[in-house]
């Protein structure tokens, strides 16, 4: 896999650039509602087909957990037609309707598809072709995200971030640091998160999603202030929120589970490795690891916290206290790191 990483980086950079272009001429009928109430576009589906088809060509059809499936734009002929137009213009060949009624697009979307835990699987892709589809449509933050899990642990990640520092693709391999290059091509250089302690008179910058209600905004500010600093909110969404911490544009990003069913693994797996390899504090409210081995959802975690400037433990303690006060049922991941004070 190591020798293929530059090629995977090129693939994800190309995928991101193609999506940037496709966005400019995205017809309204290519944007549809999903059964779960979220929104998806023909570009999400086409991008997943492009990426999985290329990965299968290089590595065979490895086990895969990916966001889109045949239900995403199935039964929406206009969206499907636009997906075919995109794939053709990108030079991706998929078959027509086969005897059992499935299409080449369906088959490509389901390449290697698995459900269930991954802790016994040596190599498993986790793909979100567009994380933040709402942002993609609205001209806000979004990012194509690919991670490779080995026995449930992210060992390789490549994310395209078109909205960060003029557009960059980030990559990391376990133990080898986090690296980035401009989406337009050029030098690959190392991304490093600041780990020196934030001085008392400096403001902590916490990522906040939009739109947010006044009480959600106030809660973010209070979590930031719990570190002992004044707090400023930085807007981002999707895995781009972690990208902001890696890029030094924010100090803290987090995602709480609350009493929900657990966050989707494809919304976090890549960034967990990228941020940790860049030197960020990444963990749960009890300091535990983010357990990406449970299948489609992070059922073992209460939150994903990503922090620079030695702020991780303070944020974790504050979010743990909020879970307690709000009566959130608490889950425990396998191992914890020290939540030292200071």
Measured between alpha carbons, how far is residue 5 from residues 60, 157, 158, 172, 276 in Å? 16, 9, 9, 9, 18
Pick 141 or 220: Cβ nearer Mg ion: 141
For residue 263, what are its two tokens? 């966050």
Residue 128 found at the interface with Mg ion (CB under 5 A):
yes
Q: Which two tokens stand for residue 45?
A: 């589906």
What whole-number distance in Å separates Cα of residue 110 and Cα of residue 48? 10
Binding part of the chain for Mg ion, among 23-31, 64-72, 95-103, 173-181 by CB under 5 A, reads 64-72
Is 173 an interacting residue with respect to Mg ion (CB under 5 A)? no
> Would you say 146 and 51 are in contact if contact means Cβ atoms under 8 Å apart?
yes
DSSP secondary structure, 298-338, as one string? -TT-SEEEEESTT-HHHHHHHHHHHHHHTTPPP---S-B--
Distance CA 177, CA 270 (A): 13
Report in angstroms how near the CB of residue 51 gets to Mg ion at its nearest. Answer: 12
Q: Which is nearer to Mg ion, 128 or 323 (CB)?
A: 128
How many chain residues interact with Mg ion (CB under 5 A)? 3
All residues at 6 or more sequence positions from 10 whose CB lies less than 8 Å from its CB, including other chains: none
Cβ 37 to Mg ion, closest distance in Å? 14
Q: Is 104 helix (H, G, I), strand (E, B) or coil?
A: helix
67 vs 284, beta carbon nearer Mg ion = 67
Site for Mg ion in 129-148 (CB under 5 A): 130
Q: Residue 329 corresponds to which tokens in the numbers above?
A: 């049922």
Q: Which is nearer to Mg ion, 44 or 284 (CB)?
A: 44
Given 14, 19, 49, 67, the residue binding Mg ion (CB under 5 A): 67
- CB of residue 216 vs Mg ion: minimum separation in angstroms? 22
Residues 18, 10 contacting (CB under 8 angstroms) = no
47/231 with CB nearer Mg ion: 47
Strand order in the sheet with 252-256: 231-235, 204-208, 252-256, 303-307, 281-283
Could you tell me which stretch among 125-133, 143-151, 218-226, 317-325 binds Mg ion (CB under 5 A)?
Answer: 125-133
Q: Does 267 bind Mg ion (CB under 5 A)?
A: no
Give least dist CB 128 to Mg ion, A: 4
In the chain, count of helices (H) and strands (E)? 9, 14
Only one of the segments 47-55, 61-69, 85-93, 191-199 lies at the binding site for Mg ion (rule: CB under 5 A); that segment is 61-69
Residue with smaller CB distance to Mg ion, 128 or 277: 128
In this complex, which beta carbon is closest to Mg ion, that of residue 44 or of residue 289? 44
The DSSP call for residue 197 is P
Question: How far apart are CB 2 and Mg ion at their closest, in Å?
Answer: 27
Residues numbered 178-237 forming contacts with Mg ion, rule: CB under 5 A: none
Residues interacting with Mg ion, by CB under 5 A? 67, 128, 130
């Amino acid at each position: 896999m190591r020798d293929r990483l530059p090629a995977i980086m090129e693939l994800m950079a190309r995928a991101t650039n193609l999506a940037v272009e496709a966005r400019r001429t995205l017809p309204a009928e290519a944007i549809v509602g999903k059964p779960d109430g979220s929104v998806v576009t023909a570009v999400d589906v086409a991008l997943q087909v492009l990426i999985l088809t290329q990965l299968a060509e290089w590595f065979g059809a490895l086990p895969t957990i990916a966001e889109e499936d045949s239900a995403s734009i199935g039964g929406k002929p206009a969206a499907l037609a636009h997906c075919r137009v995109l794939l053709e213009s990108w030079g991706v060949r998929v078959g027509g309707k086969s005897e059992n009624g499935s299409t080449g697009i369906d088959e490509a979307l389901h390449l290697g598809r698995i459900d269930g835990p991954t802790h016994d699987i040596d190599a498993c892709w986790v793909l979100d072709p567009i994380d933040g589809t709402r942002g993609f449509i609205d001209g806000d933050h979004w990012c194509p995200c690919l991670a490779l899990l080995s026995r449930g642990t992210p060992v390789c990640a490549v994310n395209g971030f078109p909205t960060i520092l003029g557009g960059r693709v980030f990559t990391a391999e376990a133990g080898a640091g986090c690296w980035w290059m401009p989406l337009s091509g050029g030098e690959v250089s190392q991304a490093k998160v600041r780990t020196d302690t934030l001085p008392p008179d400096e403001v902590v910058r916490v990522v906040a999603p939009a739109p947010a209600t006044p009480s959600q905004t106030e809660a973010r500010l209070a979590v930031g202030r719990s570190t002992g600093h004044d707090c400023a909110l930085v807007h981002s969404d999707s895995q781009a929120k972690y990208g902001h911490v890696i890029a030094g544009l924010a100090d803290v990003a987090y995602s709480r589970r609350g009493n929900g069913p657990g966050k989707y693994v494809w919304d976090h797996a890549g960034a967990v490795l990228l941020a940790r390899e860049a030197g960020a504090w990444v963990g749960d409210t009890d300091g535990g690891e983010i357990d990406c081995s449970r299948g489609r959802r992070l059922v073992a975690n209460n939150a994903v916290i990503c922090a620079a400037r030695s702020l991780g433990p303070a944020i974790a303690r504050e979010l743990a206290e909020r879970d307690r006060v709000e009566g959130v049922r608490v889950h425990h991941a396998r191992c914890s790191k020290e939540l030292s004070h200071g």
